[in-house]
Structure formats: C-alpha cells, structure tokens
Amino acid sequence: MTELTDADSRSEIAALSHEVYRLTKQLEEQEQRRLTDAMPDKYDPFGNPTEYKGFCGDYTKIDPRITEAGYEIPLEPDFTERRNLKRAYRKSGWLMIFQFVFSNALGFLAVQLILWLMNALNPAADASAVSDYIRGSSILVSINMMIYVISNVGIGAIGMKWGGIKYTSLVRTKDFGIGRAFQYCMIALLLWTISLYLITCVSDIFMQYGIDIVPDMSGVANTYLGKTVNILYGCILAPITEELFFRGVLLRTLAKSNQRFAIFASAFFFGLVHGNLQQFILAFLIGIFLAHITIKHGSIIPSVIVHMFINSVSTLIGEVSGISTAASLICYLMLLAASLLGMILLLVFLSKDKLPSTTPKQARRGLLVAAGSLPFTGAVIIYILYIVYQLLSKH
C-alpha cells in the first residue's frame, strides 16, 4: 500500500474543508429561504385568500417588523402597530370632518352673499320671494355643484398627499372591459331598485310617528337652466368627484389592514354625507358594491362608470315617469326586467367574487381600533347628528 505524502494529506484536508464550507453555506441558504418564505408578505401580511392582493398597500408602514425573518403578526396589535393604524383611521376621520365643515360653511356663506346682493339690488323685494327665487332658479343648484366639486377634489387632494396615494393608482385598472361594465351597471340597477323598496318601508315606519324622511325638493331648479345644471352635476361631476374622494382616497385610507371593514366604513360615510335618511339608505347599499369593485379592479374607473349610469337612469326615470301614467308604467316594467337581469348577474358575480372576509387578526385591527380614534368616531357622530337635525327640523 502506497503511503500518503504530506502534500497529499494537505490536499485531502483542504478538499474536506472546502466541502464542509460548501455544505455549511448550503444549509445556511436553505434556512434563510425557509425563514424568508415564513415571513409575512408586506402587501398581504395576513394571508387572507379572500382579499384582493395589492390594494391595501405596503404594511411595513404600519408594522415594519414584518420584514424580519421569522416574524409573525400577533393576534392583538401592540402599542406601535395600533398607534400607526389609528393614525390612518384618524386621517379618514379628519377628511370627513373637513368635508362637513368646509361644504356647510362655504354653502352658508355663498347663500348669504347671494341674498345680500339681491337685497342690495332690490331692497323692496320680499325676503320669502327672494328665497323662493334662489331655490327655483339655477342659483341654488349651481352653488351646491361648485361647493361639492371643490370640496371633494380639494379635500381629496389633501387625503392623497397625507396617504401618499399616487394619481396614477386611481385609474390603473385591472381586468375590466365592456362586459364587466354592463354586468356592474345591471347589478347596481338592481341594488337601486331594492333601495327604493327599503326607503318606502323605512318611510312608512317613520310616518307612523309623524316624521317624513323624504327631503322636500319641491320648487328646486324649476328653470331649464337649473335642471341642466342639476343634470350636469348629478350625472357627470358628482360621480367623478365623489368616487375620487370616497373610493379613491377614503377607501384606500381605511383599507390598511382589513378590506371588509374599509368597504363597509367607506360606504357608511358615503351614505352619511348625503345628509338625509332617504339618500343614506341608497348611497350605503350601492356604496358597498362600488367599494367592492374598486378594490377588485384597483381603480375608480369601474365605480365612476356605474355611478354615472345609476344617477343618469334615476334622473331619466324621474323625468319620464312624470309625463303620464303610461310612461310611468313603461318605466316600471323596464326597471323590473333590468332588475331581474341584475339579479342573475349578481349571483354570477358573487359566485366568484364574494366580499372579502375577515380573519381574527384583522378583526382586531378594523373597527375596534378605528372606534378608538377620536376624529373617526367624531366624524360619525357629527354626520348622524346632522341627519337627525334635518329630520327633526321638518316638524
């Protein structure tokens, strides 16, 4: 047997050392991959398969520790995570408070200015006659249009700045086309029809106590110019600016940890901002659907189209049905047929795209945390009190 030389021994030792080093590095890499795979996805930290990935944004801004190897989000948020979540919910509350204060203050000042100018031009005019003229002409609806366009766009821009939301993210649409648009419009028409029956039922209940929930719109915008301005705002400008604010900004601000909570909370605020119980029911119900398709497609384009369609159809039906009994009957039959189609399309939609569910961890980071934010809770109280005031002031 040939004896090993010192050179051969050193060579074998070096080879063994190299192999040990290679195996050690391989084990370290495997362990690192295992830990990396176990780390929460910063765009889907709760691993909820029912949610639409990518809409909620980067969760490291709420909890930076999710990038640490082996970190697992606890059931209950700790102080730092809760504080950061409250900050997001606080922003949504302040946006709603700003919207309320700005729109009401600006509306009051604008009306007072118009009254002052008209009284200055015609001091002998009766005050009630001046008020009726402002209500029946295009003045009141024009003021309303300008205030809410400025409010939705201006405060929406503030919200985008606060939340770091890019304008391009609002219109970058995924998986949406003409077929989807038709499906969503029919579903929304069904929801609009259902809301009309709900409003009737709620109205009957309140009427038993002598409270009329239907706002008095008699004598508003009776002129052709007034009606034109009303149609322009209701069918074009309101859908664009409201979707920008509620689904473009508010929904994204609320959807940091829980998409289901964000859908219902944004729809609830959307209903409250209309200022009366009748429109609250309609806006809340349709607002849930608008928020759902916004999250699904990652864009406000689908909700803008559906919003425009619903407002246009409701305006058209309101104008046509008042012509005669026959016209009203035709509108009813067409609405019934469209609602039946909408029911079928809704079932098809929900078979594949149910509302996101909530995991136990997310449930502890949604309403429970938002309710502890003073601006969020304050905004809810302010709008509810305003609706109650509107109801009671009529009696």
pLDDT of residue 326: 82
pLDDT of residue 42: 85
State the DSSP code for 218: T
Query: What predicted TM-score, i.e. pTM, was given to this entire model?
Result: 0.88
Q: What is the identity of the amino acid at 361?
A: K
Q: Domain range holding 90?
A: 83-167+176-392
Higher pLDDT, 37 or 160: 160
Average pLDDT over residues 304-327: 89
**Residue 292 resides in a domain:** yes
| Statement: residue 184 has pLDDT above 50 | yes
pLDDT of residue 19: 66
Count how many Cα atoms sit within 13 Å of the Cα of residue 245 in the half-sphere of its side chain. Answer: 25
**Residue 327 resides in a domain:** yes
Confidence of residue 386 (pLDDT cuts 50, 70, 90): very high
Tens digit of pLDDT for each residue in 227-281?
899 999 999 999 999 999 999 999 999 999 999 999 999 999 999 999 999 999 9
In whole angstroms, what is the distance from residue 230 CA to residue 182 CA?
A: 25
Residue 341 token pair: 């189609």
Mean pLDDT of the chain, nearest integer? 89
Average pLDDT over residues 286-308: 97
Structural domain tally of the chain?
Answer: 1
Tens digit of pLDDT for each residue in 107-149?
999 989 998 888 888 887 777 887 888 888 888 899 999 999 9
| Statement: residue 35 has pLDDT above 50 | no
**Residue 223 resides in a domain:** yes
Residue 345 token pair: 């399309």
**Residue 12 resides in a domain:** no
**Residue 73 resides in a domain:** no
Of 179, 110, 168, nearest to 143 by C-alpha is 110
Q: Specify the range with the lowest mean pLDDT, choosing from 100-104, 192-196, 209-213, 257-261.
A: 209-213
| Statement: residue 222 has pLDDT above 50 | yes
Q: What is the identity of the amino acid at 334?
A: M
**Residue 343 resides in a domain:** yes
Look at residue 41 and give its three-state secondary structure.
strand
Q: Which residues are within 8 A (CB) of 23 and not within 5 positions of it... i.e. 6 or more apart?
A: none
Is 278:203 a contact under the CB 8 Å cutoff? yes
Q: Which residues are within 8 A (CB) of 225 and not within 5 positions of it... i.e. 6 or more apart?
A: 137, 138
**Residue 34 resides in a domain:** no
Average pLDDT over residues 347-357: 94
| Statement: residue 2 has pLDDT above 60 | no
**Residue 52 resides in a domain:** no
